[in-house]
């Protein structure tokens, strides 16, 4: 994959780590689809779309999200860390839009709060080329 733009963001949820880990371990694809629908209704736009602005013209496509892997490890402090490897691209004509690979890491902050760390790399070149 060609070097692309890196994206990193983080947030936390007011739920225990085990509950968040179990939700993501069950059916992460379904969970992400529900989250994008919820964000879409709040934003009054289609959040499950990939958008590109070309010469002032906005082009949008539905996206296909793939969970490539799920793993658990221990952080430097010995706390558990769950990592999800994700890919997403345009559902149709994927070579016309950026391809993204990401990792979502989750770990406990307190007994009732869980940190979500998201790191991604966007590329204008599709992973298969």
Residues 120/95/30/49 CA torsion (nearest 10 deg): 90
Q: What is the pLDDT of residue 36?
A: 60
| pLDDT digits (tens), the chain, 129 positions | 445 678 899 999 999 999 999 988 877 777 776 666 555 454 444 345 556 667 777 766 777 778 888 899 998 889 999 999 988 887 787 777 778 889 999 999 999 999 999 999 876 554 455
The domains found in the chain, sorted by start residue, are 6-123 (3.30.530)
Provide the whole-model pTM.
0.71
What pairing do the DSSP bridges indicate for beta strands 6-13 and 49-54? Answer: unpaired
| Burial class, 21, CB count within 10 angstroms (exposed 0-12 / middle 13-18 / buried 19+) | buried
Which structure tokens are listed for 93? 């004509």
């Amino acid at each position: 994959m060609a070097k692309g733009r890196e994206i990193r963001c983080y947030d936390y949820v007011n739920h225990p780590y085990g509950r968040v880990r179990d939700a993501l371990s069950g059916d992460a694809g379904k969970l992400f689809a529900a989250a994008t629908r919820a964000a879409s209704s709040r934003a009054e736009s289609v959040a499950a779309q990939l958008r590109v602005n070309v010469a002032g013209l906005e082009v949008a496509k539905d996206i296909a999200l793939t969970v490539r892997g799920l793993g658990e490890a221990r952080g430097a402090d010995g706390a558990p860390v769950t990592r999800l490897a994700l890919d997403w691209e345009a559902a149709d004509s994927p070579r016309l839009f950026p391809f993204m690979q990401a990792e979502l890491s989750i770990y406990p902050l307190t007994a009732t709060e869980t940190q979500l760390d998201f790191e991604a790399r966007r590329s204008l070149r599709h992973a298969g080329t």
